[in-house]
Structure 1
Amino acid sequence: MPVLPNSKDSNDQVAKGLSEATQQMKDAAGNIKAKPEHHQAHPGPVMGQDIGEPASKEGLKKRDEELNEK
């Protein structure tokens, strides 16, 4: 039968491979904690769309009356 490494030995080897900064970010369960940088998006430049000129109040009232007649 193959000899399986002891889980304690494998955990020690993994811990040795991690940098000090990574080990400081670990919580009690051994999970790496998220930093604020992990939650910041980089969406890129905003491209504005041409939405046209705003409608006048008179034009909006006229359209409102037309739509409400039916």
Structure 2
Amino acid sequence: KEENILYDRDEHGEYFQLYSMTYGEGFFFEIVERRAYRGYGAPNAIFRIAALKKALRPEGMPTR
């Protein structure tokens, strides 16, 4: 949690996911490690998109 790494596990293994900072107009790296994990591991996609939009918002722009 401290390093902003998404962690999940199922009965088969573990899943780790993290994102780099955003570069330019929305380019970023997604890093994933699966250790025998069989799930999808992407239930946080809508939250990542929201965080990306917030990070790209020009300073001083209202949130609504």
TM-score interval, normalised by the smaller of the two chains: under 0.3
Normalised by the length of structure 2, the TM-score is 0.25
Higher strand share: 2
With a CA cutoff of 8 Å and minimum separation of 6, indicate the structure with the bigger relative contact order. 2
Higher helix share: 1
